[in-house]
Amino acid sequence: MLKTATTVAGLCLVAGLAQAADRWDGADELAVNPLGCEAGATATVTPKPYDGGAPTGAKDLAGKEITLVDVPKLIGIGYFAATTQGMQEAAKELGNVNVKTDGPTEANIDDQITFLDNFITQGVDGLLFAANDPVAIAPVLKKALGQGIHVVGYDANSQPDAREWFVNQAEFNGIGKSMVDAMAAEIGEDGSFAIVTSTFTTPNQARWIAEMQAYAEKCHPNMKWLETVEAQEDNILSFNQATTLLNKYGDELKGLFGMTSVATPASAEAVTQAQLCGKVAVVGLATPNAMKPYVAADCVKSVVLWNPVDLGYAAVQVMRAVADGKLQAGATEVEAGRLGKLPIVNGSEVLLGAPFIYSKSNIDQFDF
């Protein structure tokens, strides 16, 4: 009895703490910054001084062979296998870079710190990382900088002063614009849509939704936002939530956004099983492999994500440029091999570009 009582008390506490917001604040205190409505609009670069760190007493490595270690959030998943592939491609192309990927098998802040710590002790020329936590990783990265090791992040940032540069795969407002534009193209300017997300406070998802709301109000004011539902990152729950939305709104619902790589395929499955392909559009963030069947069946036309192979490729190119002294504080762009020149934004971030849209014509080229 008592056990049940404590459980119930615990649940009430949890429920009491969960608050739903009518205005999406992104679960943080940052302001939204919607992009321009025209196709290909990029953020107006507001000049911001370099806010990254600098290694103390770094060796002169210009043109010399360098050894890098890449510590992603975790290893053994398709996404980071793709970034690793991109890194190897860049290393091969450059010819004077050795890069090894190693990291925890679970996205665990403590394990990741231990890995980085060991590589600092081992002595490398540069560290690449995708942080499991921006603050927790900072002390160990600062230690690396303090020993003259170059530090470049990608995919998930740390505090700016704990690394030199960060390769940003897509800005939040860029994702927001791509998602809403793709939806508007499919369901029209006056269509109604709903969103399936993880939780209202998950950092990335909440931020994306806040940007989507701001962008839709600015550029597609007649689109109607019906509802946003939580589905954790749970396959079955996502499917059930999407099915509920389809039943609840019937013909009124023209489109579903999936905000996670779980929610998007689950929403596509719900639409397929309800035999509403072509009537209800699904647009979302997802990895290509999960979406291939729905794209092949013409049930989903656009899957939004960046290209992780290019992301890994760019990270190694940026590191090489740093070691060669070609990328220094105050630069406005950096040469990144086959990707051309990449712009510098937010002081010390290298922007990979606009998000990548996977469609029937290109999705089969990717395997992750």
The residues of the shown chain that bind another protein, judged by CB under 8 A, are 2-3, 6-7, 10, 13-14, 17-18, 27-28, 75-76, 102-106, 108-110, 113-115, 117-119, 121-123, 133, 135-136, 138-139, 199, 201-203
Residue closer to another protein by CB (options 114, 235) is 114
Residue closer to another protein by CB (options 120, 285) is 120
Between CA 329 and CA 334, with CA 330 as vertex, the angle to 5 degrees is 85
Minimal distance in Å, beta carbon 187 to another protein? 31
Residue closer to another protein by CB (options 42, 199) is 199
Whole-angstrom CA distances from 105 to 73, 156, 289 are: 9, 17, 21
100: region left, alpha or beta (phi > 0 left; psi from -120 to 50 alpha): beta
Whole-angstrom CA distances from 322 to 65, 192, 308 are: 13, 47, 21
Residue closer to another protein by CB (options 13, 62) is 13
Q: What is the dihedral of CA 309, 310, 311, 313, to 10 degrees?
A: 90
Minimal distance in Å, beta carbon 3 to another protein? 7
Minimal distance in Å, beta carbon 82 to another protein? 18
Residue with tokens 């209202």: 200
Q: Is 300 helix (H, G, I), strand (E, B) or coil?
A: coil
Residue closer to another protein by CB (options 103, 255) is 103
d(CA 80, CA 73): 8
d(CA 19, CA 230): 12
Residue closer to another protein by CB (options 122, 275) is 122
Minimal distance in Å, beta carbon 135 to another protein? 4
Residue closer to another protein by CB (options 159, 168) is 159
Minimal distance in Å, beta carbon 29 to another protein? 11
Whole-angstrom CA distances from 219 to 52, 196, 215, 275 are: 34, 22, 6, 31
Minimal distance in Å, beta carbon 327 to another protein? 28
Q: Give the pairing type, strands 356-358 and 349-351.
A: unpaired
Q: Give the pairing type, strands 349-351 and 165-168.
A: parallel
Minimal distance in Å, beta carbon 65 to another protein? 17
Residue closer to another protein by CB (options 178, 198) is 198
End-to-end, the C-alpha distance of the chain in Å comes to 48
Minimal distance in Å, beta carbon 128 to another protein? 15
Whole-angstrom CA distances from 298 to 273, 278, 282 are: 14, 8, 11
